[in-house]
Amino acid sequence: MSNEEVKDVILCENLIKIYKTSEIEVVALQGLDLSVKEGELMAIIGNSGSGKSTLLNMIGGLDKATAGKLIVDGKDLFKLSDKEIMKYKRDTVGFVWQNNARNLLPYLTALENIEQVMNIKEISKLRARALELLEMVGLSHRKNNKLTELSGGEQQRVAIAIALCNNPKLLLADEPTGAVDTKTSEKILDLFRELNKRLNLTIVIVTHDRQISRKVDRVVAIRDGRTSSEFIRKISYAEELANLNSIAATDKEDTHEELAVVDRHGRVQIPEEYMNKLGLKGVSKLKVELEDKKIVFYSSELQRGNYDGE
């Protein structure tokens, strides 16, 4: 399938979310733009309070945006009725949470946890599908174990199997590796890559961990309720693994190239590291000049030097 033929599974335009109480008003998203292609495996990163989990909840139909445009799998979420939203959450999206308690019941076995959320009434077909999902996540040998007998990583694999029960078009994962160690985290991310490739499943991972970017081809950074930059992989993950030397070099070399995001109004966020390095934190105005093929930002209070942005 050519790039021109790949459709957007998620399309957000000028998305705004405002939380209001009697005393305060908090703007969680302020004009966010984002598109995710069918079959893409990507991550959304940002610090606490950046708006990334708010965005995930709105894409998943758990929360409603205040204004803007939000279309998922061809469905305009602003126009869906409550009944249609329920059907959308059941049929279109699957969720994986950091807290397994949101996915799993501790007094049931791995197999029973999967069976009790499936929409299949015929027992033989129900059992066959549940076993198929356990096999898919590499846990068929633990089907009769209760959650207390499973490790944190194994519990998360059961949670992923549950998220796949109704063949969703989109899998949303909120900090899926936040409660496990580094080695287990690697295995879970490898499982996401395998499912993405085998099922052509669109997967969006929300995290504060930048190390996850090594396992995905595109990372979108959110800051202050807007997309601030994207990290695009320089070579494909498959090519990287094919090169034995690249595995050892991963910790030393950047695998991705960072690109600033320019919104429809021409607004761009300068990476926070650049602002800190140049002592521009707190500066409200910068001079902007066009120099050959570069757009150069600099402060009149500083000597103009090599901190131009392309």
**Tens digit of each residue's pLDDT (9 = 90 or more) over 25-68:** 888 998 899 999 999 999 998 888 888 999 999 999 999 999 99
Domains belonging to the chain, first-starting first, are 3-92+168-269 (3.40.50.300), 274-310 (no CATH)
What does 242-270 look like in DSSP terms, one character per residue?
Answer: HSHHHHHHTTTS--EEEEE-B-TTS-BPP
CB-hemisphere CA count at 13 Å for 232? Answer: 5
Task: List 258's β-bridge partners, or say none.
Answer: 231
Q: Is 210 a residue whose pLDDT tops 60?
A: yes
**Cβ-contact 221, 227 below 8 angstroms:** yes
Closest CA to 103 of 80, 65, 132, 133: 133
**Tens digit of each residue's pLDDT (9 = 90 or more) over 90-124:** 999 999 988 776 778 888 999 999 998 887 777 88
Share of the chain above pLDDT 90, in %: 44
Tell me what the mean pLDDT of segment 142-161 comes to: 92
Locate tokens 């869906």: which residue?
80
Tokens of 230: 């994207």
